[in-house]
Structures are given as structure tokens and as C-alpha cells.
Amino acid sequence: MTDDELLVIVGVSEGSSEGCAEGLREGGARVETCVVNANDLATLSAAGVDAVILDVDADPERFVALAAALRQDERTATLPVIARVAPGVAVERVVLLAPSAIATSSSSGAHLLAAVRATGARGDDRAAAAERERDLEDRLRTASGRLDAVGTEARAMAHDARVLCGIVVGYAANLRDEIVGPLEDEQRVHVAQILQATDDLVSLLERFSGAVRATTDAPPSRGGGRSGKPARRVLCNLGELVRGTVGLFDNVAAQKNVAVVLEIDDGLTAWCDPLKCKQVVTNLVVNALKFTPAGGRVTVTLRPQAARPDASGKDARQRVELRVRDTGPGIPAEDRDSVFQRGVRLERDRGLPGSGLGLAVVRDIVAEHKGTAEVEETAEGASLLVLLPTDMRSREGRSLLLVDDAAAAQRIVDAIHKGDGGPAGWRFDARRDSVVDALARCAAVVVVPQGSVPVIDVGPISERPGAPPSSRGAR
Amino acid sequence: MSTRPLHVLLVDDNPKALEPLEIRLKALGHRTTLAHNGEIAIAMVERDPPDVIVMDVTMPELNGYQACRAIKRIAPKIPVLILTGKTEAADRFWAFQSGADEFLNKPVDPAVVVKTIAALLGKP
């Protein structure tokens, strides 16, 4: 603030703030007074005001709209706003205004001016910090956009390179198989070299694509960084998910004369990314169908993991078992770990279609969900077991679901969180749809019961596994 | 493959991409038809239903998934083999979600495609 600082005192009536104004003028400030009206915001912002004093003599609620407008308008958001409170006005009601400082009406002009200057300095710091944060966010957004563009171009190039490799492989294989005429022995060797080199090139492409995926596919974490966490987790009915996905292969199974048996415990749910979990089921079932001979059987089992009384800590989490068994040739014991590696295929399977990616993708997705995937010991065929925790939502991106219809309360909670360096709370009103929608995305739920909140159906909250007791029956 | 000559519909916007397969199929005594996008493929299925369809995914107008869904509505019994350079796990999932009967990644040995067609038609 400068020597030429201009303060505006907003009072509840004409002339009510003159006493206060006089004290401030004696301290050397230019002071104007006006009557509270949210529409005055444009006037306040345009007049080069350095600070606003809300002269709260009786009824803080009359200032809520103006205080909110000051905070939300970028021209006034960093202005010091001092609440000058008359005796008898409850401080908890003044807090609704989220002022920069609170002074009593008995404070002298000099004290009030000192408060204005102190908060003004803090406001300048906050403004500079906010500017730096905006600048960083802009740079991060630009970098992220560039990374996405590089990823898109890299994927397109990998795709086109695969298509070109396909043409080379196609013609070379036609020569090898003498589709267009017989080959001399030496020509046969040359064709084999072409096929081998193309195979190596495809392996290289696979490594390249894997690196691109690892760099660009992870969803942005809070603050714009990237992590390997699932894009989203919602509460899924696993029985429906597994049944619906396996059903996609009815035609394939019928054509191969393979029976598909479902053994599903209905009612099992888990917090997971449903699309990714469908991919897990798809890859396991495609794998099983591929290796099961005609007349064979693929059995898909979904059930809760048996109780483990000795387990503790993370190991004690409730998990579900997804097991896919087949009656194919099985997986040799020495290969049971390597089949989950990207690009690895068993020697005996090299003549069959496939890229060696299916089970690697299963392992990656299951790992993202803090689960495990393994090949089980079995007397017949192969048995792949996926263990998936039912509730492993991330605690890093904590979100607060505030059920309150008072806009002022939401702003206060938001301010508290920002001051903490914690995540900003989500702003929701108490309409049922908003709450249910928010529940699907929230990692943690805090319900703030308020007498004034309209009654909502809290079924989804109280039914939610792990819901805090305080939320039950909230209004 | 079957001794009966087959009619194979090859769908790809890049005519070079499936040419080696076309040559092989013809050499084996089968008939092939080419379509350069999903819309043309659907029209061909309606006009002259093939025994099996080999379909790319990335094509103008109507992509392979969309075409596969449409074809399965009008001719659910014709097997569709998706043959694509798209290797994401989601591509395989969307292929089957669209009703495809098999999914292979390019590059692939055309001998493997011929074997897969035979398997789809139940004629090992």
C-alpha cells in the first residue's frame, strides 16, 4: 500500500461508518464510505481501492454476498477485507465473510489502519504466490500438451510401421511358402533372413510402443504430474462385469466347440476401473479359448477369497478371486512367471497368433489395482488366478464431499483446505443427484450435517462400504 | 483349409496391406473381394455375402469396429476377423465388444491368417 491509499468502509446505512472513517483519516488514509450492496463491486474494483472495511454492526449475513463477490472477482480477490465487528455480534457468524482480519468496533483508527496494512502485505505475498502458481500451472499444461502430442504421433508412427512390416512379412511368407513359384535353396535362406529381420523389427517396435505407453498413458495426477494409477475407480458389481464380458465370447466358444462355464458368487463388488477390469477378463478368456482344444472347457470363477486369520496390515484386506481355468496344454512350471512379461511367448506357441501382450496387460492392470496375478499349480490345463482387493481407492487424492447448501460454508472449507496445502474440497449442493455422482468419484467422504440442509436420501452413503459412522443418517 | 472355395471379403483402406493375403488366398483357390472402407464392406455383405471377413480397424468414413457392429446386425453368422496395427489392450476389447470373432495384430504371417480363417469356419 502507498501513502495515497484509498480505503472504503462499507456500512449498513448512510453515515453509519463516519466515526470510523474519521479515525482512519487522522491516520493519513483517504477514506470513502458506502452502503452495503453487492452491486457496488464494479465501483470498488474500478476505483483503485486498496482495502475494504466491512462495518458489521449487527447483521453479518447482509455482507455475505458482497464478501463473496470480492473474493471471486480476480480484480479484488487479493484486496484486504477487514471485518469491523460491533460488540454482541457472534464471531462465528462473521467467519462466514472469510475476512482477512477481524477488528472490534472499539479499535482506534491507528489500530485499524495497522491491521489494514498488515493484511495488505500478506495479500501482496498471496498475490505473488498465486501468480507463481499460475505460471507453473501454465508451463506444466504446455509441457503436458506437448507430451500428449508426441505420444499421439509416436503411436501413429508405430501403427503405420506395423502395417508396413505386415506387407513385408506377407510377401516374404508367400515366397517362403512358394505361393508364387518354387525357390532355390539360397533364395529360401534369403527369405528366412528377411522374415527374421522383420520379426526383430517388430520386437523393437514393441519396445518403443511400451516406452511410449509408460510415458504418456498414465493419467495426470494432482498438480499435473503423471503416475501409474488407474484413471478412475468406481464401485462395480463384479459378477455383472465378469458375466457380461465372458458373454462376448459365446460365439467364439461355440465355433471352437469349447464349453464356457461360469461360477459366479453374485453380489461381489470392488472399487475398480471397470473398463480396465473388463480388459483383464477379456485377455484371460481369449487366452484360455485360444489354447483349449475342441471339446474342452473354460471355467471362469469369481468368489471372495477365503478368510486368512494370519494375515495382517495390507495383506488383511478383503479380496476377490477371479480364476480362469482351461483344459488346454497348460503352462510349464518353469514358464509360470515369464508368461506375464511383455512380449514373451512360449516356444511351442510361436506358430499361433498372438503378440505376447495379453497376460502382461493383465499383470499391469491388476498391479494398478494393488492386486496380484499368478499361474496356479493344476492337474489339468492352465489356471490363472487374479486377486483383487475390494477397496483400494487411492488416499493420495483425498477429496472432501461437503454436503451443505450454504455457499459460504463451502467457501470456508475450501479456504481451510487451500491453507493446509491439502486438496481443494469439491463444491456440491445437497441435491441427491450431486451427492450420488460425487460418491462415485470421492476417495473420502465427509458429511457436514446442517440443520438447514434439505433432507436427502442418504441410502447410497450409508450403504457404501467403509462409510464413516458420522455420515449415517445425516441430514 | 476347406476344399470348398471360400469367398473372403478383405476390408482395408490401404490396398497394399492385404495384398499378400489376397495373393495367397487366390493361390489356394479362394475368391476375394476388396472393400476400402466399412461402408463399402456393409454394402458388399448385403449384395454378395462372403463366407468370412478380414477387416482392418483404422479406416475413413466407418472404422472397423463400427462396420463390424453393423455387419453383425445384418449377417450375424459371418465370422469377422479383425486384423489391425492397433496393439492397445483396449483395441482387442473393443473388437470383441463390436462382435468380432477373432483379433490379430499386424504384422502377421498370412499363413496364420489362413489357419485362423479355417478355425473360424470350423474346418481345421
Residue of A nearest to B56 (CA): A163
In a shared domain, residues A167 and A240: no
Looking at the fold, whether A208 and A324 belong to one and the same domain comes out as no
Of A168, A177, A209, the CB nearest to B87: A209
Asked whether residue A453 is assigned to any structural domain, the reply reads yes
Reported ipTM: 0.86
- Do A78 and A144 belong to one domain? no
- Report which of residues B5 and A6 the model is more confident about: B5
Residue A132, in any domain of the structure: no
* pLDDT grade for B32, boundaries at 50, 70 and 90: very high
Domains of chain B: 7-120 (3.40.50.2300)
Query: Residue A224: what pLDDT?
Result: 37
Whether A268 maps to a domain, the answer reads yes
**Could A352 and B112 be called an inter-chain contact, meaning their C-beta atoms sit closer than 8 Å?**
yes
End residue of a domain, out of A185, A216, A247: A216
Same domain, yes or no, for A273 and A349? yes
How far from chain centre, in Å, is Cα B35? 10
Looking at residue A219, what is its pLDDT? 46
Q: Is A395 within a domain? A: no
Are A191 and A304 in a shared domain? no
- Residue A468: what pLDDT? 36
A86 belongs to a structural domain: yes
Domain of A412 in residue numbering reads as 407-471
Phi, psi for A73 (deg, rounded to 5): -85, 125
A271 plus A305 within the same structural domain = yes
Same domain, A247 and A347: yes
Least CA distance to B95: which residue of chain A? A248
User: Are A354 and A312 found together in one domain?
Assistant: yes
Count structural domains, chain A: 4
| Residue A383 and residue A311 share a domain | yes
Strand runs (DSSP E) across A242-398, as ranges?
Answer: 259-264, 269-272, 297-304, 319-326, 372-375, 383-389
**Nearest Cα residue to A358 out of B88, B98, B115, B106:** B88
In-domain check, residue A124: no
Whichever domain contains A57, its CATH number is: 3.40.50.720
Residues A38 and A146 in one domain: no
d(Cα B11, Cα B59) in Å, to the nearest integer? Answer: 9
CATH number of the domain to which A326 belongs: 3.30.565.10
Residues A266 and A338 in one domain: yes
Nearest CA to CA, how far is B69 from chain A (Å)? 13
pLDDT in tens, B88-122: 878 888 898 899 999 999 999 999 999 999 989 87
What does the alpha-carbon distance between residue A138 and residue A304 come to, in Å, rounded to a whole number? 46
- Decide if A238 is inside a domain: yes
The verdict on residue A298 lying in a domain is: yes
A10 touches chain B (CB under 8 A): no
- Give the residue from chain B lying closest to A279, CA to CA: B93
CB contact under 8 A, B105 and A352: no
Nearest CA in chain B to A358: B89
The dihedral through the CA atoms of A457, A462, A465, A469 has a sign that is: positive
**Mean pLDDT, consecutive 10-residue segments, chain A of 475 residues?**
68 77 81 71 65 82 80 76 82 77 80 78 71 83 83 88 93 94 93 91 85 67 41 78 87 85 89 85 89 92 82 70 93 84 69 70 86 89 91 47 54 50 41 47 44 38 36 32
Same domain? For A268 and A367 the reply is yes
> How high is the pLDDT of residue A449?
44
Question: Is A157 an 8 Å CB contact of chain B?
Answer: no
How far A276 CA sits from the closest chain B CA (Å)? 8
